[in-house]
Amino acid sequence: MEEPKTLQQAILYFADPDRCIAYLAQSRWPDGVAVCPTCGRKDVSYVAKRRLWQCKSRHPKCQFSIKVGTIFEDSPIPLSKWLAAMWLIANCKNGVSSWEIHRALKVTQKTAWFMLHRVRLILGDDGGGKLGEVVQIDESFIGGKAKNMHKSKRSKMGTAYGQNGKAVVLGMLQRGGRVRARIIADRTRKSIEPVLTEHVEDGATIHTDEFPVYARLSDRYIHEVVVHAEAYVRNHVHTNGIENFWSLLKRGLNGTYVSVEPFHLFRYVEEQVFRYNNRATRENPLNDGDRFALVVSQIVGHRLTYKELTGKADARPF
C-alpha cells in the first residue's frame, strides 16, 4: 500500500496498527535500526506478537512500544487515532477544533483537546536558526476574551493580556521565507528588542511600520519604515507577507476555536506558524502527506502531561 497523500488514504492506511508502527519506526529510525530509548542499545529485537521491542539490558522499560519517548507515551489512545488527528492538524488550513476531533475520531472532547495540545507542542520547533536578509516585523493584537475575566484570574495570565484584554503578538517574517511569532508583554522597546535579538540576525534589513518604538532600536539592523498607505508604491518595502500570516492566524482563532484560554494562546500561534512555514509554494511544493511526515518526524523527545498542560494536579485526561 502506497503512503497516503489524502485524508481518506491516511484513515485507511493507518487503520492497520502494524502499519502505524512501521510508519513511525521508519520516521524515528530512518536507518532501519531500532534504538532502546532508555539505554541507547541498538541490538534490540522486535516481538511482533506483542508489538514491542525488547532491550537486552536490564532496566525499567526494557520492553518498549513505539510510543515510549514520544508525545504518545502513556497514552492509551490507539495510534490510528493519533495519526489521523495529526493528519488533520498538519493540513487543515484554519486549524481543527477539539470538537471536530471528538466527532471524527470518537474520542471524548477532553481527550481530543489534550491530543491537540500534545501535537501543538511539537509544531513550535522550526530548528532553523535566526531570520536574516530582509525581515518584516509587525505586531498584532489577538483576543479580547480576557477583558470579561475576573481580575484575580486575569492576573494569573500575566502581562501578555495587559492591554485592553488583548495579547500582543510580535511577528517576524523573512521575505520569501519563514515566519516566527512570539507573544510579548506590550509594545515597548523593552519587550520587542530582546525578541528581535533572539530571532533576527545582526545586519539584517528590517521593515516595520512607523510605530515610534522601531525608530529607537539599536543600530544592529538596517531599518526601513513602511507607511501603510504607501506600501504598494515603494519598491519592495512592504509588510504584505506578514499581513497574510495575521489573517491566517485570526481566521483560525475566530472561526475554528470557540474559545482560547490566554494561557494556551502561544500554542495556537505555533500551530499557525507551522502551517504557514510549511505551506505549498512554487519552490517548495509540499503536499498533505509531506506536511504530515514533517509533524511525525518531530514526535520523539517531546512529552506533555495533562498536569503540565493545565497546572492541575488532580486532572486526568482519560
| Size of site (CB under 5 A) for Zn ion | 6
Using the minimum distance from each CB to Zn ion, give the nearer residue, 66 or 89. 66
Q: Is 173 in the site for Zn ion (CB under 5 A)?
A: no
Bridge-based pairing state of the strands 45-47 and 167-174: unpaired
Using the minimum distance from each CB to Zn ion, give the nearer residue, 54 or 297. 54
CB 142 within 8 A of CB 166: yes
Distance CA 46, CA 231 (A): 60
Q: Is 57 in the site for Zn ion (CB under 5 A)?
A: yes
Distance of closest approach, residue 41 Cβ to Zn ion, in angstroms = 5
Distance of closest approach, residue 61 Cβ to Zn ion, in angstroms = 8
Distance of closest approach, residue 36 Cβ to Zn ion, in angstroms = 3
The residues in 5-44 that bind Zn ion, with binding defined as CB under 5 A, are 36, 38-39, 41
Q: Is 55 in the site for Zn ion (CB under 5 A)?
A: yes
Judged by CB under 5 A, the stretch of 54-62, 72-80, 174-182, 220-228 that binds Zn ion is 54-62
Cβ neighbour number for residue 13 with a 10 Å cutoff = 21
Using the minimum distance from each CB to Zn ion, give the nearer residue, 36 or 172. 36
Using the minimum distance from each CB to Zn ion, give the nearer residue, 7 or 39. 39
Backbone torsions φ then ψ of 27, nearest 5 degrees? -75, -40
CB 260 within 8 A of CB 268: yes
Judged by CB under 5 A, the stretch of 50-58, 111-119, 248-256, 291-299 that binds Zn ion is 50-58
Q: Is 54 in the site for Zn ion (CB under 5 A)?
A: no
Distance CA 315, CA 129 (A): 37
Using the minimum distance from each CB to Zn ion, give the nearer residue, 59 or 312. 59
Distance of closest approach, residue 63 Cβ to Zn ion, in angstroms = 10
Q: Is 248 in the site for Zn ion (CB under 5 A)?
A: no
Distance CA 248, CA 59 (A): 47
Using the minimum distance from each CB to Zn ion, give the nearer residue, 55 or 167. 55
The string of DSSP letters for 20-48 reads HHHHHHHHH-TTS----TTT--S--EEET
Distance of closest approach, residue 52 Cβ to Zn ion, in angstroms = 12
Distance CA 253, CA 178 (A): 21
Distance of closest approach, residue 71 Cβ to Zn ion, in angstroms = 21
Residue 316 carries which side chain, given as an amino acid letter? Answer: R
Distance of closest approach, residue 60 Cβ to Zn ion, in angstroms = 9
Using the minimum distance from each CB to Zn ion, give the nearer residue, 43 or 308. 43
Indicate the angle between helix axes 109-123 and 98-105, nearest 10 degrees.
120
CB 137 within 8 A of CB 199: no
Distance of closest approach, residue 53 Cβ to Zn ion, in angstroms = 9
Distance CA 257, CA 268 (A): 9
Report CA-CA distances (Å) from 162 to 158, 168, 213, 274, 288.
7, 9, 18, 27, 38
Which positions touch Zn ion (CB under 5 A)?
A: 36, 38-39, 41, 55, 57
